[in-house]
Structure 1
């Protein structure tokens, strides 16, 4: 049985992992040692079945003349393509010898058409999982959102709506141009080649085999972006169809940005954390519905993923059940389990509001002291 925190309960401050935490790590590895092999049948059918449904729904919306049907098809396309897109997360963790061809097929069938090639995330996500970098200013996927001003949250979320136009600009115009302009190329690589949260992050130039994968993935996405821009400009693709494509991309980005808001507690202010403290700063939302819609491909078990990052997504639910049943109710494992997306959003909002109120109170007190 999963034990959830009470909504009013605040988690303890991160501590050095003690004997209980070391035991949790040992038990987690022991209880899940038979769950680490990815199932090719599940990966291929889930990912590309979702993509096929998403593309079919998008095409259906483009030819539909009924507002209600168009809306329903757009929503279906967003949900299914969002699921297919999130396999980019699995690609960063997979042992590709166990799933040969999957990364190439994903980039051709999902990454390039949706302007989200996997190089945007590969390498970046590994830094986020690093014990030395997680939650620090060097982490590309972390900001101390719980300690920032309240307006940061809606701005952070709604910025996702600009994603289609930024991707078209990146791959359709600036990317191809940058190959002939070295200073622009350096800027593109450092600042516009990562799916990041931290705006201060600067990406290093790719090396070795990864540089080769980067080049062909970028070329494929650029060809897709240029073709879309050109055919729309020439009137071959109707503006309505172009708009629906952008709406679906924006919907995918908005869903993912909302999920990102609750993937962590965002309470670390730059200090280095242990693996167990990374776990405590992350979240599990075990209920399958509606979690399977807003956090598919295992991402509703994000804290468990930080504990056991090599587990394939289809094993996370089984692993969670085993750990929740085997570990004591008051163990560190239960500290990261939450009942819903809504509860986590309220918690994060209260944290920013409380922080802002405290700052305002201190500022008012200082002003009163100066005028006394």
Structure 2
């Protein structure tokens, strides 16, 4: 693909014109016009800050008191956002103060605005000063500049999403990571470099502070930690309402969103060549939006509507920028050059940036180029036959011989027919067939998609039809679509998108949509002592979404943020041989729709070599989540958990030892059984049915030895067949103090796994112990 043309870029597209503009700009005359406007007036600074902050916090308090979504609350919210936004923007003026100038103002601002918003002044001081240096502006080390014209519209859209993530990230940085960083020097260095700057360039790495500034900034850090920890403690103890955190988040996210739009309109963002632009070059790459003197300062407060003038003369205080702009606009002999920076409105500035930016469809073409790269699948010339085995020996492998007769060749890729036979503890036997079609990519040696429709029959669900599709846009992305329909009860629509490198970065994204009605579930009562004879069948209706994002911290560490919204409703089940839930457990048969909104955070260490089919490495997670009535949920409760997955292989993956451990606990309101922790066939104990054991806490341990038994040219697209003896151990408990090892349920068994690179696995599990046995078939069911 050829270079994408970039319009109006100062440094690349029209260097001669840009240089002529710079040479013709009367800088000395401009300096003479504004030389008397350099002195800040502390009375204006203090009066403006006190009025703005007081109005903002009073309105904030009114938001807390008002009825949800009432006109009074909405009006108070708007006033709070605009007034506190003006207060927050004084951080820009503080960054331009000289070291010993207005120290008390800096202290008052941090105490009343910066620390409550988890954004003390040090996160902008120094960083913004670098932005004004002629040797830094618009170049690699400028954290406040991204060449959006060449980066494209997708980068603009991503920047508009970031404000929603900043408030919880700031809280995590100062409340959790700050005290830990004093114990771990490497974490402290990482925090300083990557999590101590208000910037728009995510690649920015902040240099170390000098000793004098470092001491002051350390006190600001400690102050933010004390304030944040105190607020959370008071909310936890019930002294302050939980909705305080909700309002705080909404106000701060709104402030960052407005400021992000203002920032996008503040520059032209055309310098993608990395050359030094000079003082006048900065000015011509910046934007003035004088606008309406009453309306424009609401979104560009504290003089920022004259941003180009500010870059020309950064020492002019905000209260004199309007006069400076008036003089320069009216008295400069070459005022047409000065007016090159003018825009009528923010809408015009954003519209011009959007038009000049690289279109999204070009980014899609770039993604298509990536998708055309070979996928991470074995290639016939290099992988097959496996080392030490001749084609003749491969053909005599019994499993190869079997799959040879189950496989057909089509023009688009190989087609494999899998007979379906499984037994479920609740609904009994199901039989059917599942053809699996692997679609070759354009080069013909990898997989672009896998399609796996199936038909099954069960005496309770009758005929059941399922469509499964797995798309692999490139080596880091996966798209899953599943739809199911049965004659009785069951319905499903499931959509998932996952990527390890969102928008070309190291950020992870997982988004899922669920619409499910399933009638095979049962409930036996609470606790590890619940009895099989008490089992009652019900159907579960579930609709909602779940979104999680992974933010890289260092190497294999990620900060995971999770949001989910689901609604549940119970109905009578189709299994006539079991008791009805409403009769067996009338107090637990909550049949009406119930809403669950959860927000979670986790620290994850992930060194696995593949997101779905790992053979080595480990994954460890510490997580917590909350559901609050103040956020719209029908119940208030918290969830805590830890998880470990480990993989160890020898002989290049021929033998893989896999282990999975999970510990979870819920606290808070009494919640319906169907959202409590479950131990069963799809949650780690394959010997039992879905939902067999239910309580507020659970512990699961599974160990498998995955032995690769076949890789052959006949299965070029089905890269591995494994036999996996396993043992599952699990139990539930109301709280950790009630965990008893004599309540552990043990389920040994053996599994056969068919791995379809790059992302799909079909697993047939046979678990048994004494008179109990369970035979399962799952698609996309690895751990």
TM (normalized to structure 1)? 0.90
Structure 1 18/231 Cα, relative in aligned 2: closer, same or farther at 3 Å? closer
Contact 1:117 1:217 in 2 (8 A): yes
Out of 15, 25, 33, the position equivalent to 2:35 is 33
Which residue does 1:265 correspond to in 2?
268
Out of 103, 107, 110, the position equivalent to 1:107 is 110
Which residue does 1:191 correspond to in 2?
194
Alignment of 1:1-372 (within 5 A): 13=14, 15-16=18-19, 18-21=22-25, 23=26, 25-65=27-67, 67-95=70-98, 97=100, 99-269=102-272, 270-287=274-291, 288-328=293-333, 331-354=336-359
Structure 1 18/52 Cα, relative in aligned 2: closer, same or farther at 3 Å? closer
Structure 1 97/175 Cα, relative in aligned 2: closer, same or farther at 3 Å? closer
Contact 1:96 1:102 in 2 (8 A): no
Which residue does 1:3 correspond to in 2?
none
Contact 1:150 1:356 in 2 (8 A): no
Contact 2:303 2:318 in 1 (8 A): yes
Contact 2:150 2:358 in 1 (8 A): no
**Is the partner of 2:234 in helix, strand or coil?**
helix
Query: Structure 2 CA distance, aligned partners of 1:259 and 1:241?
Result: 27
Contact 1:36 1:312 in 2 (8 A): yes
Structure 1 10/137 Cα, relative in aligned 2: closer, same or farther at 3 Å? closer
**Alpha-carbon deviation of 1:20?**
2.3
Query: Structure 1 CA distance, aligned partners of 2:99 and 2:323?
Result: 22
Structure 1 359/247 Cα, relative in aligned 2: closer, same or farther at 3 Å? closer
TM (normalized to structure 2)? 0.43
Point out where structure 2 has 5 or more consecutive residues left out of the alignment.
1-6, 373-783
Structure 1 267/359 Cα, relative in aligned 2: closer, same or farther at 3 Å? farther
Query: Structure 2 CA distance, aligned partners of 1:316 and 1:197?
Result: 25
Q: Deviations over 1:226-281 (max 9, x none)?
A: 11222222322212221011111111111111111111011100221111111111
After the TM superposition, which parts of structure 1 deviate over 4 Å for at least 4 consecutive aligned residues?
9-12, 353-361
Bigger strand fraction: 2
Query: Structure 1 CA distance, aligned partners of 2:165 and 2:364?
Result: 31
Greater CA radius of gyration, 1 or 2? 2
Query: Structure 2 CA distance, aligned partners of 1:98 and 1:181?
Result: 34
**Alpha-carbon deviation of 1:10?**
5.8
Structure 1 349/289 Cα, relative in aligned 2: closer, same or farther at 3 Å? farther
- CA RMSD of the aligned region, Å? 2.3
Contact 2:264 2:350 in 1 (8 A): yes
Task: Identify the range of structure 1 (168-177 vs 308-317) with the bigger mean alpha-carbon deviation.
Answer: 168-177
Query: Structure 2 CA distance, aligned partners of 1:42 and 1:208?
Result: 31
Aligned pair count reads: 354
Query: Structure 1 CA distance, aligned partners of 2:163 and 2:111?
Result: 23
**Alpha-carbon deviation of 1:309?**
0.2
Q: Deviations over 1:286-323 (max 9, x none)?
A: 11243101110000111100000000000000000001
Query: Structure 1 CA distance, aligned partners of 2:242 and 2:258?
Result: 24
Query: Structure 1 CA distance, aligned partners of 2:84 and 2:94?
Result: 16
Contact 2:9 2:270 in 1 (8 A): no
**Is the partner of 1:34 in helix, strand or coil?**
helix
Q: Deviations over 1:89-136 (max 9, x none)?
A: 001112365535111111111111111100000000111011001101
Query: Structure 2 CA distance, aligned partners of 1:230 and 1:289?
Result: 41
Point out where structure 1 has 5 or more consecutive residues left out of the alignment.
1-8, 368-372
Contact 1:137 1:200 in 2 (8 A): no
Structure 1 159/19 Cα, relative in aligned 2: closer, same or farther at 3 Å? closer
Query: Structure 1 CA distance, aligned partners of 2:310 and 2:175?
Result: 34
**Is the partner of 1:101 in helix, strand or coil?**
helix
